[in-house]
């Protein structure tokens, strides 16, 4: 018998918000030092985040690339994935994804945060950029990239 891995990602976020593990709502996020991603595209297992003629290309897993493409297309799989489950959970508990911010690189990994808001609570959650982008696209949230990171890692794409 094959065992299926249970995705706990959405459960942890909801517990964190409902248990008061967040900070007061007056500590909103800042876009100072960030640029807004204007377009997200998927090429195989790579994701291109662009603003104007500059793009940041990052590799991801086939499953995450497919989930991002599904969000771009407005489609879903026969069974919900962890991103779909998180979106349903967030909507049910009136949790808003305010923004995703790609902040820096550690080794070969891009680091990002999801900024979640519910009532008087705000939670900054360390998240894989590909997961955060897949969720942001489903919830129509904005994605931002640190300006310095974008200047260092971005490429001319026009």
87-128 pLDDT, tens digit each: 999 999 999 999 999 999 999 999 999 999 999 899 999 999
Question: Residue 79 pLDDT more than 70?
Answer: yes
Report the CATH superfamily, name and number, of domain 9-156.
Bifunctional nuclease domain (3.10.690.10)
User: How crowded is residue 27: how many other Cβ atoms within 10 Å of its Cβ?
Assistant: 11
Mean pLDDT of all residues in 16-44: 74
Question: Residue 83 pLDDT more than 50?
Answer: yes
Q: How far apart are CA 35 and CA 124, in angstroms?
A: 18
Give domain limits for the chain. Answer: 9-156
Question: Residue 9 pLDDT more than 90?
Answer: no
């Amino acid at each position: 018998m094959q065992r299926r891995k249970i995705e706990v990602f959405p459960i942890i976020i909801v517990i964190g918000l409902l248990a008061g593990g967040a900070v007061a709502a007056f500590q909103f996020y800042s876009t100072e030092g960030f640029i807004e991603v204007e377009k997200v595209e998927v090429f195989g297992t790579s994701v291109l985040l662009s603003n104007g003629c500059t793009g940041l290309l990052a590799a991801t897993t086939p499953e995450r690339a497919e989930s991002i493409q599904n969000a771009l297309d407005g489609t879903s799989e026969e069974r919900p994935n962890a991103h779909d489950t998180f979106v349903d959970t967030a909507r049910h508990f009136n949790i808003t994804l305010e923004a995703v911010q790609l902040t820096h690189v550690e080794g070969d990994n891009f680091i990002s945060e999801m900024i979640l808001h519910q009532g008087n609570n705000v939670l900054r959650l360390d998240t894989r950029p590909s997961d955060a982008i897949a969720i942001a696209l489903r919830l129509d949230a904005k994605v931002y990239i640190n300006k310095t990171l974008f200047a260092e890692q971005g490429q001319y794409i026009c």
